[in-house]
Structure 1
Amino acid sequence: MNTLPRALVILVGIAGAVIALYGIREVASIAGPVVLALVLVIAVAPVRGWLHAKGLPVWLQVAVPFLVVLLVLLSMVGILTISVTQLTSLLPTYASEFEQLLAAAQQWAATYGLGTDVLERALEAFDPSRLFELAQGLLGSLIGVLSASFLVVVLLLAMCLDAPVTARILTAGEERRPQLVRALATCARKTRRYLIVSTIFGLLTAALDVLALSLLGVPLPLLWGFLALIANYIPNIGFVIALLPPTMLALLDGGVRTMVLVIIAYSVINVVTQSFILPKFLGDAVGLTTTMTFLSLLVWTFVLGPLGAILAIPLSLLARALLIDSDPSATWAQALVSGRLPDR
Structure 2
Amino acid sequence: MRDQPVPRALIILVGIAGAVIALFGLREIAAIAGPVILSLVLVIAVAPVRGWLDARRAPVWVQVAVPFLIVVLVLLGMAGILTISISQLASLLPTYAGQFEQLLVDGQRWAAAHGLGTDVFNRALRTFDPGRLLGLAQALLGSLIGVLSSLFLIVVSLLAMCLDAPVTAKILAAGEGSRPQLVTALATFAHKTRRYLIVSTVFGLLNAILNVIALSLLDVPLPLLWGVLALIANYVPNIGFVIALVPPALLALLDEGVRTMALVIVAYVVINVIIQSFILPKFLGDAVELSTTMTFISLIVWAFVLGPLGAILAVPLSLLARAVLIDSDPSATWARDLVSGRLPNRRDQAAH
Structure-2 separation of matches of 1:172 and 1:71: 33
Q: Which runs of 5+ in 2 are unaligned?
A: none
Q: How does 1:140-289 map to 2 (within 5 A)?
A: 140-289=142-291
Structure-2 separation of matches of 1:118 and 1:21: 40
Structure-1 separation of matches of 2:9 and 2:38: 35
Tell me the residue number matched to 2:5: 3
Deviation of 1:3 after TM superposition, in Å, equals 1.3
The residue type equivalent to 1:339 in the other structure is G
Deviation of 1:285 after TM superposition, in Å, equals 1.0
Deviation of 1:187 after TM superposition, in Å, equals 0.2
Q: Which whole-Å deviations, capped at 9, do the CAs of 1:17-59 have from their partners, x for residues lacking one?
A: 1111000000000000010000000000000000000001100
Q: Which whole-Å deviations, capped at 9, do the CAs of 1:63-82 have from their partners, x for residues lacking one?
A: 00000001100100000000
Structure-2 separation of matches of 1:115 and 1:46: 61
Note if 1:85 corresponds to 2:101.
no
Tell me the residue number matched to 2:342: 340
Structure-2 separation of matches of 1:187 and 1:2: 36
Structure-2 separation of matches of 1:12 and 1:114: 55
Note if 1:66 corresponds to 2:68.
yes
Structure-1 separation of matches of 2:125 and 2:215: 29
The secondary structure found in structure 1 opposite 2:290 is coil
18, 21, 24: which one aligns with 2:23? 21
Tell me the residue number matched to 1:300: 302
**Backbone CA RMSD of aligned residues:** 0.6
Structure-1 separation of matches of 2:257 and 2:341: 45
The residue type equivalent to 1:84 in the other structure is I
Structure-1 separation of matches of 2:57 and 2:169: 16
Deviation of 1:341 after TM superposition, in Å, equals 3.0
Structure-2 separation of matches of 1:283 and 1:51: 28
Structure-1 separation of matches of 2:8 and 2:109: 63
**Number of residues paired by the alignment?**
344
Structure-2 separation of matches of 1:213 and 1:70: 29
Structure-2 separation of matches of 1:322 and 1:78: 36
The residue type equivalent to 1:129 in the other structure is G
Tell me the residue number matched to 1:136: 138
The residue type equivalent to 1:9 in the other structure is I
Deviation of 1:8 after TM superposition, in Å, equals 1.4
The secondary structure found in structure 2 opposite 1:284 is coil
Tell me the residue number matched to 1:118: 120
Q: Which whole-Å deviations, capped at 9, do the CAs of 1:278-310 have from their partners, x for residues lacking one?
A: 001001210100000000000000000000000
Tell me the residue number matched to 1:95: 97
The residue type equivalent to 2:175 in the other structure is G
Deviation of 1:340 after TM superposition, in Å, equals 2.3
The TM-score normalised by the length of structure 1 is 0.99
The residue type equivalent to 1:81 in the other structure is T
Structure-2 separation of matches of 1:260 and 1:168: 55
Determine what percentage of the aligned residue pairs are the same residue: 78
Deviation of 1:155 after TM superposition, in Å, equals 0.3
Structure-1 separation of matches of 2:19 and 2:221: 45
Structure-2 separation of matches of 1:326 and 1:7: 21
Tell me the residue number matched to 1:331: 333
The residue type equivalent to 2:106 in the other structure is A
Structure-2 separation of matches of 1:277 and 1:50: 29
Q: Which whole-Å deviations, capped at 9, do the CAs of 1:218-272 have from their partners, x for residues lacking one?
A: 0000000000000000000000000000000000000000000000000000000
The residue type equivalent to 1:58 in the other structure is V
Q: Which runs of 5+ in 1 are unaligned?
A: none
The TM-score normalised by the length of structure 2 is 0.97
Structure-2 separation of matches of 1:174 and 1:308: 31
Structure-2 separation of matches of 1:175 and 1:119: 70
The secondary structure found in structure 1 opposite 2:205 is helix
Tell me the residue number matched to 1:57: 59
Structure-1 separation of matches of 2:259 and 2:196: 37
Structure-2 separation of matches of 1:180 and 1:275: 34
Deviation of 1:104 after TM superposition, in Å, equals 0.3
